[in-house]
Amino acid sequence: MTATAPIPQQSPSARLSAAPAAYPAPMYPHKATEEQHRERRIRSFQPRRGRMTNAQASALDRSWETYGVPIDGTPLDLRELFGGLPVTLEIGFGMGETTAAMAAADPSMGILAADVHTPGHGNLLGMLERDGSQNVRLAAGDAVILLRDMLPDASLAGLRVYFADPWPKPKHHKRRLVQASFLDLVLPRLAPGALVHCATDWEPYAEQMLDVLSASPELENLHPEGDGTGWLEPADHPDGSIPGYAPRPDWRPVTKFERAGIAKGHVVHDLLFRRR
């Protein structure tokens, strides 16, 4: 009998950065996501596999099996995954600096961090290794599939959407993540008292976020009277506040991306709502 040669296994970094032709999003370790990602639906993101550094690829290969969660439609047991910690879902963590800093500052909160940017996964894994943080899991792929198919109702203690793509052209506004249809998907997954925290440096998107979140009777604005920081001219708001927006909480670090936006004259808006 002729022995069958074992099929070589790709490393996590190779699997995470590979994609079949015409596939609209990164291919992650479980190919069960392919059909789900191919469904006809307007996406709020563009696939960004990008070029990984050696350090990012090495971190993926060392730590993906420990920290990584493939978005493959399989329901998650968050209590088991995070050892009973309350869990906040963060959608779009970029290169992971904010996620790593918040995880290190509050190890009592689990963070399920979802993104499609493979170098960002490697970068965040390297920072988690450096800090020794054990309260983060990285979800690789489309957050809509994660919310719709994998998270139980009332399972989240919070939702964070920081500096999501603002899709500034009017013809692309339909691609913005925070809109009524997205909120319909999110609300059942939020436990009573869950904190919804959004931040953006694109003022028209901030206005849309405020409209969408304020329209839900299931959410309470924690800063209905404004932030008191005087973002608008005093003649427009003599009290120095913008109704509905929140001051930046101490727990949200200022990122390099945010500082670059401020340097361009952008105004950063935070929104804090609580699930009733």
User: Annotation-wise, does 131 bind a ligand?
Assistant: no
- Tell me, what DSSP letter sits at residue 247? P
Alpha helices in the chain, H assignment, sequence order? 12-17, 33-38, 54-67, 78-81, 97-105, 118-131, 143-145, 180-186, 203-214, 256-263
Question: Which of 149, 153, 165, 184 is labelled catalytic?
Answer: 165
User: Annotation-wise, does 255 bind a ligand?
Assistant: yes
User: Annotation-wise, does 211 bind a ligand?
Assistant: no
User: Annotation-wise, does 201 bind a ligand?
Assistant: yes
Q: Give the number of other Cβ atoms within 10 Å of residue 249's Cβ.
A: 12
**Beta-strand pair 136-140/68-70:** parallel
- Tokens representing 20? 């079949």
**Beta-strand pair 87-91/156-162:** parallel
Verify whether residue 165 is a known catalytic residue: yes
User: Annotation-wise, does 165 bind a ligand?
Assistant: yes
User: Annotation-wise, does 169 bind a ligand?
Assistant: yes
Q: Looking up tokens 């052209």, which residue turns up?
A: 169
Cα separation, 244 vs 250, in Å, equals 18
Smallest Cα–Cα separation from 195: which of 275, 85, 78, 82?
Answer: 275
Sheet with strand 190-200: strands edge to edge:
68-70, 136-140, 110-115, 87-91, 156-162, 190-200, 269-275, 219-221
User: Annotation-wise, does 106 bind a ligand?
Assistant: no
User: Annotation-wise, does 90 bind a ligand?
Assistant: yes
Feature table: binding site for S-adenosyl-L-methionine? 90, 115, 142, 165
* Catalytic residue set: 165
Annotated binding residues for substrate, written as ranges, equal 169, 201, 255-258
